[in-house]
Structure 1
């Protein structure tokens, strides 16, 4: 009798121990999948009978079989992202973009000490950005755009001192841009467009010496442009459709890499700086719907890569400069609703 029972016991023991053998990272992923709804094709691939999850769809591991990346971009994932994600202690990259994930961003993400890349854009995430998330000083890339996030940008944004890219556009964020953003001195890309942000832009932006892209269009920012970049690296600078007043800063002439300058529909006044003529890479110069006065600087004719020039709906006066004839690549030119005289060269 004992000899008959022994094989059945051995089989039972093997099945039990095989389920016990799944690594802690694999167990964390299975726990995560209870709220994060995976398509059947992925769910069937995430097997509890495996020793590690390193062959699972979307999962990447290091040489020690610890999970360092989870990439389920555009994979038909829905549901919500739970706190179980913080059990992946070695996680560096989390990319769940282009899905239908709802609910809030778990604050526990801020506890991951190796975390450098967070990509959650194009989902249905709501609620506020957790203060704890932006306290993670290891984060370098944060992509949260095209969701339904609300509330303010956490002041803790300044603690992400290794941050290079921050994409927050196309949400419902409100309030001011925190002055602590100036602590993100490695920041290269800052996208804030299409939100409900307000207040003055902080002067501390001057501390971000390597900023290449700053787009805060379609918000409710007010005040003057008080920040400046002496050794400017900007390639795209857009504050269109806000309530910015004062003059266009002359330091923009230092931005020799600038390709696009957009300041449409603000309350800017004064003259167009002649220093803009130094921008040899400028392709789009869009300054319409302001209160700019004085003549069109003939120096604009030096911007020979210019394709799009919008100066309409201002208070410009004088003769249209003949130097505009030097703009051989120009495709769009809007000068109407001004006080200009003469003919186009």
Structure 2
């Protein structure tokens, strides 16, 4: 076997130094790249920039470079890549979210929180019809929320807190029938609406009623906290097809998901998924399942550290 055949590279939680450098000619089959939480002698983290070509490896499906000291802007995505998951959180990335992110049509999860990104959310996000999670928490993003964001019919978690978004919250979000987490605190949204002739207190009452109806609509289709935690947990694992096909927000009850048993209140009490070739590391979301009594992941290919607490 040569490096030409490399499909997975996980060097998280090490003491790597320097910049990231790859050639598509030598790792053309790479599907998973995980560099999270490394150490660089000056800033206690891996530093530098992401090579522009890295984002365009046609075979790459998961790109995890979180908890480092990566700077500069997010690379452009010039080709319709096969990326399913991007995690660049806890870095020092600046610049704007590139419009070419709309080329990654298979994306299901985007984690860009705790960076220094600015500018608006690109309208090309409407191309991401499979997107389930968008976390932009704690950046310097601004501008009104694009109407195109309401086209994400599979979106179940949207975290935009601690930015500078403004304008009104469109009632078109009622189209997001699977949305169970909408976090908008510490932004500059207003209660007024240019689409209605109501003024003063009546305008505020109408907007409040519209948002209340939206919340009721969402709750009727929402995952409970355990379902959200399990989905977040699955984002860091490679699951077998039999499991992956049932673990999704289209079914709001995690009790019907493969390997999950629940109590009468709908909270997970056991996860039993032995010998299914599940790989990667177990995420910290496991500690959110406070009623869990049994965890059976025997005879799989898990690696890394067990979550603390």
Q: Specify if TM > 0.5.
A: yes
Corresponding residue number in structure 2 for 1:255: 218
Corresponding residue number in structure 1 for 2:54: 109
CA distance in structure 1 between the aligned counterparts of 2:122 and 2:224, rounded to whole angstroms = 27
In the superposition, relative to structure 1, how do residues 255 and 165 fare at CA in structure 2: closer, same or farther (>3 Å)?
same
Corresponding residue number in structure 1 for 2:244: none
In the superposition, relative to structure 1, how do residues 168 and 84 fare at CA in structure 2: closer, same or farther (>3 Å)?
same
* TM-score relative to the length of structure 1: 0.55
Corresponding residue number in structure 1 for 2:91: 147
Corresponding residue number in structure 2 for 1:173: 117
CA distance in structure 2 between the aligned counterparts of 1:118 and 1:160, rounded to whole angstroms = 12
- Cα deviation, 1:155-188, whole Å, max 9, x if unaligned, reads 0111111000000000000000001111111000
Corresponding residue number in structure 2 for 1:193: 137
Q: Which has the larger radius of gyration?
A: 1
Residue from 81, 90, 109 that aligns with 2:29: 90
Matched position secondary structure for 2:75:
coil
Q: Which has the higher strand share?
A: 1
CA distance in structure 2 between the aligned counterparts of 1:162 and 1:150, rounded to whole angstroms = 24
CA distance in structure 1 between the aligned counterparts of 2:2 and 2:179, rounded to whole angstroms = 47
Matched position secondary structure for 1:156:
helix
Matched position secondary structure for 1:70:
strand
In the superposition, relative to structure 1, how do residues 147 and 239 fare at CA in structure 2: closer, same or farther (>3 Å)?
same
In the superposition, relative to structure 1, how do residues 136 and 148 fare at CA in structure 2: closer, same or farther (>3 Å)?
farther
Note if contact 2:34-2:63 (Cα within 8 Å) is conserved in structure 1: yes
User: Unpaired runs of 5+ in structure 1?
Assistant: 1-21, 26-65, 261-280, 282-303, 306-345
Q: CA deviation at 1:111?
A: 3.1
Corresponding residue number in structure 2 for 1:123: 68
**Greater relative CO, 1 or 2 (CA 8 Å, sep 6+):** 2
* TM-score relative to the length of structure 2: 0.61
Is 1:67 aligned to residue 67 of structure 2?
A: no
CA distance in structure 1 between the aligned counterparts of 2:117 and 2:24, rounded to whole angstroms = 25
Q: CA deviation at 1:67?
A: 0.5
Is 1:23 aligned to residue 2 of structure 2?
A: yes
Note if contact 1:176-1:197 (Cα within 8 Å) is conserved in structure 2: yes
Corresponding residue number in structure 2 for 1:238: 183
Q: CA deviation at 1:135?
A: 4.1
Q: Following superposition of structure 1 onto structure 2, how do residues 203-282 of structure 1 map, counting pairs within 5 Å?
A: 203-226=147-170, 227-230=172-175, 232-246=177-191, 247-248=207-208, 249=211, 250-256=213-219, 257=222
CA distance in structure 2 between the aligned counterparts of 1:126 and 1:198, rounded to whole angstroms = 20
Corresponding residue number in structure 2 for 1:6: none
In the superposition, relative to structure 1, how do residues 151 and 88 fare at CA in structure 2: closer, same or farther (>3 Å)?
same
Note if contact 2:155-2:176 (Cα within 8 Å) is conserved in structure 1: no
- Cα deviation, 1:228-263, whole Å, max 9, x if unaligned, reads 133611121100000011235232221121668xxx
CA distance in structure 1 between the aligned counterparts of 2:176 and 2:120, rounded to whole angstroms = 26
CA distance in structure 2 between the aligned counterparts of 1:231 and 1:197, rounded to whole angstroms = 22
Note if contact 1:158-1:183 (Cα within 8 Å) is conserved in structure 2: yes
Corresponding residue number in structure 2 for 1:163: 107
Matched position secondary structure for 1:79:
coil
Taking only aligned residues, the RMSD between alpha carbons, in angstroms, comes to: 2.3
Q: Following superposition of structure 1 onto structure 2, how do residues 8-47 of structure 1 map, counting pairs within 5 Å?
A: 23=2, 25=4
- Cα deviation, 1:71-122, whole Å, max 9, x if unaligned, reads 0011221211013366300000000001121111111113311110000000
